[in-house]
């Protein structure tokens, strides 16, 4: 199986099938505390935020998705155009295919159309056990003119793939070595099952610049792999994992508590600007969105811009109605406790 074919399968399945986790993100049971007398004008509400040396117009990272196929290249192009005009950060999909099949590199190459954005390349941390070197990572960052590297941790996804890379032993020192030697920030994310507090603490000690919890509640990769399964047995193995993982809220609360000094990205099932403000109130610096932006990205840059605009409008109204003019002052005081607490 070519890497580019696998990436095309992922796009086709996530666009056409229901691959939602059977778990809720947890955000629906959290409310923001309404403020009937906000001492601000809506026009003064500004969701600008600083992240690893970049100023973002709104606290959004477009989560790593694709590249490697013509459709993936078109999607990256649309995402990059929108990230540039809307001032948000962009994670490219796994660059493993670009290292294995160099003629696919152009499907990741968006710097010319997005000269100012915070741009991150991505690869599976497990590849460090399968021949990926620090030089490979540095080359990927250099050739795509990226601002950082996002490593993903996806043990369950690899375990459910017919051709998965399942030796996750001894990765932490390799991640630490990469953090120490790469000239750009190294971040680590899950892909939809969350990081526990213990994992977040270990990664913080390894020297990561930020963590993205990528919790359960949105895209489920066991469901994607179930749809890809080429045998009844493979299908049946994936099935009970549809409700696996730490939810986005569980993972976010654990990571923030144990790594209060580290920028934490909340992702996994984020859909609206209201979701985003809840995550920021819980201690996230940014939110990430993948699945919710994919249909727009498959359509056009303008569709992605419209989706980001509606996210930002929701966030600004939520900030106004909780009485906060900017995100530096946001904390748990804008969360509503249930009256029986
Ligand atoms: C089509 C698609 C492809 C993805 N490919 C990658 C990838 O290459 N690397 C990665 O770290 N995560 C990848 N992800 C996972 C997302 O970055 C994200 O962590 C996950 O989908 C949960 O977010 P969501 O619920 O907003 O979709 C992909 C997600 C989608 C929908």
Taking only the tens place, the pLDDT of each residue in 190-229 is 999 999 999 999 999 999 999 999 999 999 999 999 999 9
Q: Give the Cβ contact number of residue 231 at 10 Å.
A: 9
Strands 54-56 and 210-212: unpaired
- The residue among 6 and 215 whose pLDDT is bigger is 215
Calculate mean pLDDT across residues 172-193. 98
- Ligand 1 atom at minimum distance from 154 CA: 11
Query: In the chain, where are the structural domains located?
Result: 3-336
State the chain's maximal CA–CA distance in angstroms.
Answer: 60
Annotation: CATH topology of 3-336: TIM Barrel (3.20.20)
Count the alpha carbons within 13 Å of 332 in the hemisphere toward its beta carbon: 6
**Of 322, 219, 220, 205, nearest in space to 274 by CA:** 322
| 54-58, 143-147, 334-338, range with the lowest pLDDT | 334-338
Calculate mean pLDDT across residues 103-130. 98
- Ligand 1 atom at minimum distance from 190 CA: 19
Confidence of residue 1 (pLDDT cuts 50, 70, 90): low
Confidence of residue 7 (pLDDT cuts 50, 70, 90): confident
Distance CA 234, CA 15 (A): 21
- The average confidence (pLDDT) of the chain is 96
Q: Would you call 226 helix, strand, or coil by DSSP?
A: helix
Calculate mean pLDDT across residues 165-178. 98
Give residue 200's pLDDT: 98
Ligand 1 mean position to 289 CA, how many Å?
8
Which residue CA neighbors atom 11 of ligand 1 most closely? 152
Give how far Cα 98 sits from Cα of 61, 123, 229, 272, 335, Å. 22, 10, 25, 32, 43
> For the chain, where are the alpha helices, taking DSSP H only?
3-16, 70-86, 96-100, 134-143, 155-160, 171-181, 197-206, 221-228, 232-238, 248-258, 273-281, 294-299, 301-322
Structure tokens at 321: 């109605």
Pocket test for ligand 1, best of 219, 270, 298 (most atoms within 8 A of CB): 219
96 ligand 1 Cβ < 6 A: no
Distance CA 329, CA 13 (A): 40
Calculate mean pLDDT across residues 315-336. 97
**Of 189, 113, 179, nearest in space to 144 by CA:** 113
Ligand 1 mean position to 62 CA, how many Å?
10
Pocket test for ligand 1, best of 19, 25, 79, 93 (most atoms within 8 A of CB): 93
Task: Indicate whether 318 pLDDT > 80.
Answer: yes
Length, in residues, of the chain: 341
Give residue 173's pLDDT: 98
289 ligand 1 Cβ < 6 A: yes
Q: Which residue is it, tokens 């059977």? A: 22
Give residue 340's pLDDT: 58
pLDDT tens digits along 254-298: 999 999 999 999 999 999 999 999 999 999 999 999 999 999 999
pLDDT tens digits along 56-99: 999 999 999 999 999 999 999 999 999 999 999 999 999 999 99
Buried b (16+ CB within 10 A) or exposed e, 251-276: bbbbbbebbeebbbbbbbbbbbbbbb
- R_g over Cα of the chain: 19
Give residue 6's pLDDT: 86
Predicted TM-score of the model (pTM): 0.97
Task: Indicate whether 2 pLDDT > 80.
Answer: no
Give residue 339's pLDDT: 64
Ligand 1 mean position to 34 CA, how many Å?
33
Are the CB atoms for 83 and 114 separated by under 8 Å? yes
**Of 113, 78, 61, nearest in space to 304 by CA:** 78
Are the CB atoms for 213 and 264 separated by under 8 Å? yes
Ligand 1 mean position to 72 CA, how many Å?
13
Give residue 10's pLDDT: 93
Ligand 1 mean position to 233 CA, how many Å?
25
Distance CA 86, CA 1 (A): 37
């Amino acid at each position: 199986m070519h890497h580019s074919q696998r990436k095309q399968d992922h796009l086709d399945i996530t666009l056409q099938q229901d691959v939602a986790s059977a778990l809720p993100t947890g955000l629906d049971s959290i409310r923001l505390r309404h403020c009937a007398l906000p001492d601000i004008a809506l026009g003064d509400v500004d969701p600008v935020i600083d992240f690893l040396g970049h100023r973002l117009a709104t606290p959004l990272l477009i989560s790593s998705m694709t590249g490697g196929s013509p459709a993936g290249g078109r999607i990256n192009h649309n995402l990059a155009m929108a990230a540039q005009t809307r001032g948000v950060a962009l994670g490219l999909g796994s660059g493993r295919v670009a290292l294995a099949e160099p003629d696919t590199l152009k499907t990741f190459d968006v710097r010319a159309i997005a000269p100012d954005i915070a741009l991150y390349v991505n690869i599976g941390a497990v590849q460090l056990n399968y021949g990926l070197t620090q030089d490979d990572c540095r080359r990927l960052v250099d050739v795509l003119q990226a601002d950082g590297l996002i490593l993903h941790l996806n043990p369950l996804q690899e375990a459910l793939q017919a051709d998965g890379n399942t030796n996750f032993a001894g990765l932490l020192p390799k991640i630490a070595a990469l953090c120490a030697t790469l000239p750009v920030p190294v971040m680590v994310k899950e892909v939809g099952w969350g990081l526990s507090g213990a994992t977040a603490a270990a990664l913080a000690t390894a020297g990561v610049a930020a963590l993205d919890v990528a919790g359960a509640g949105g895209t489920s990769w066991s469901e994607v792999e179930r749809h890809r399964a080429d045998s009844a047995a493979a299908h049946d193995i994936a099935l009970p994992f549809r409700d696996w993982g730490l939810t986005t809220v569980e993972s976010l609360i654990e990571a923030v508590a144990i790594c209060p000094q580290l920028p934490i990205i909340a992702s996994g099932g984020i859909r609206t600007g209201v979701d985003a403000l809840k995550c920021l109130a819980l201690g996230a610096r940014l939110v990430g969105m993948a699945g919710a932006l994919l249909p727009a990205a498959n359509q056009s840059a303008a569709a992605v811009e419209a989706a980001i605009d509606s996210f930002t409008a929701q966030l600004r109204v939520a900030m106004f109605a909780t009485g906060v003019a900017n995100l530096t002052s946001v904390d748990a005081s804008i969360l509503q406790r249930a009256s029986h607490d």
